[in-house]
Homo-oligomer: A and B are copies of this chain.
């Protein structure tokens, strides 16, 4: 009988596995039964009982979510049913929840501490309990010991927010994981369970806000019926501590309100926004605020009325202020002056405005001075506006990094920026220390596994973890993610995290080594297009950026050129301005150098450029080999899936290398150095390739 039951048990397990393939939907929140029986028993003994402190109100919806998560997690991981939370604290061992006074721990923070035979989860607010719950479950998933546990965590940044570039028609600008998870047509009635699962995933890594509409904004979102839809989403997100934000189209008072102007100083315009804010808050009492892209790439803004960005931002800030909302005003602006250096313009525009913004305005600055290129030096704006809080905007979606089909871990990029020393106000002033929060452009979509490429999940995870604690090490983050997502096996985990950590540099090498940037094709940005030089706006052309000619290559941003380097603090400026001290990864960002310029390693610039492209291609071979070595150690479905994407990455890495080198050789007129395979086609071949339906832009 026993045997038969065991057989049945086996069957069930097997049949579940067979019929419910690993589709990746569960992300890193996989509460499967822990296989190590001893460990499971130890956890069961430590956590078997739940003691709820008398000052913990479990009827609050966020607390209810925490308790549900805890119950589901322990049921899955340990196979135990946690007794319903009782009002009075019991005796004996187990997990105890205790509410701290507001001063005892920071907002959203928590403490997990072994206290005698109890493990205590303590926090001073509901979000703290929520985040502590996920922390505890993560430890169990990773098989970590709870003995002597004593951790206290408080988020380093208040604003930890995702930006969705999702349009109301369901398309996603720069989205490579299907289409928008938000179905505005069926909202507010149909509450796709995915909305809940999304908010839960965000909460599990500490993300506490979500901008659900595209920065290229649509005024329609402010129409009453759409506000009802947004309110329904807000209701779903709220118990997971995720505040909803919307993007505000600056001309909405005209398009939606029928006014003849959107001038920020116009009384009617002010009134319109005030009324709109009231309408929003009547439906969403904890509405977060607006993100605004104004006077940027064709978006309307205050400059059309001769007003400054500060005047524009303050208009909206005044409307939101009575309700506690904030304005995240983007510094991503540049004009079409052929004499100007696009890299210098955000600084030129915003530094003079420092001190003019309302208290509830945050200026949102992309990590680099151009636009999410594979690698950029940090934006000189960081630390340069002492009176104006800044938000660091990172792109999780891989617009310029393989568009979601390449395995490219972005945590090293995020960390490089966060740790960069601005020297503004003295050495050690990292970018991380200058910002009040992080905004990440989301990479999730309708793909069953959320991100298309299974490893795309890792950067959603990494963004959340770094927004919580910017000092975290990328390897440690990916170790965590790999363990949670693919199981706790040490070798598997290490291989995966190494692949992720090394993949960024690999991608930079096969796309834009040595500080090159903006070499991609036009519009969809899919694939290489270094030869493009005929677009109407000069700064949209790759040729504007690489400036390759018979003499050399690179953008001179020193005194002899645009002098954009002068925007950095002296210590940084001096390092970047001298090609001998400028880090090679930014060399051609700041300098136009002869093809025969000698690198420190003795190679000429041309040789080094070629060798880096070659190294990038070889890196993708290494990635494929590393992944192949995990066959049989990772479930077959996900192993196959990643392998298929790696095939694309290898082919496209070769494409980038071949197209770029074939093109640059038309300028350098030099042979390819030893160890570099010559492109199989001439540059005309690569120029002739055409991919009208590459994803990530609005379908035509």
Interfacial residues, chain A to chain B (CB-CB below 8 A): 1-2, 5-6, 8-9, 11-16, 18-21, 23, 25-26, 31, 33, 72, 75-76, 79-81, 167-171, 178-179, 184-186, 189-191, 193-194, 220, 405, 446-448, 452, 637, 641, 644-645, 647-648, 651, 692-695, 698-700
Contacts and interface: CB of A to CB of B under 8 A. Distances in A.
A18 B75 contact: yes
Given A16-B16, A695-B170, A79 B193 contact: no
Contacts of A194: 448
Contact of A75 (B14, B170, B651): B14
Given A167-B699, A170-B179, 17 more contacts: A5-B9, A8-B9, A11-B79, A12-B33, A15-B31, A16-B16, A19-B76, A21-B193, A25-B448, A168-B693, A169-B693, A169-B699, A170-B695, A170-B699, A178-B446, A189-B647, A446-B446
B448 A189 contact: no
**Secondary structure call for the A interface:** loop
Contacts of A15: 31, 33, 72, 75-76, 79
Contact of A189 (B167, B178, B644): B644
A318 to B, nearest CB: 30
Contacts of A169: 693, 695, 699-700
Given A167-B699, A220-B692, A699-B169, A72 B23 contact: no
13 contacts: A8-B79, A12-B12, A12-B13, A15-B75, A15-B79, A18-B76, A19-B72, A23-B193, A168-B693, A169-B699, A170-B179, A189-B644, A446-B446
> What's the number of copies of this chain in the assembled complex?
2
Nearest 4 interchain pairs by C-beta: A169-B699, A11-B79, A15-B76, A169-B693
Contacts of A14: 75
A33 B80 CA distance: 23
A637 B18 contact: no
A324 B338 CA distance: 60
Contacts of A692: 220
A415 to B, nearest CB: 29
Contacts of A447: 446
A82 to B, nearest CB: 12
B11 A75 contact: yes
Contacts of A220: 692-693
A8 B76 CA distance: 11
Contacts of A75: 11, 14-15, 18
A190 to B, nearest CB: 5
A76 B12 CA distance: 7
A588 B171 CA distance: 40
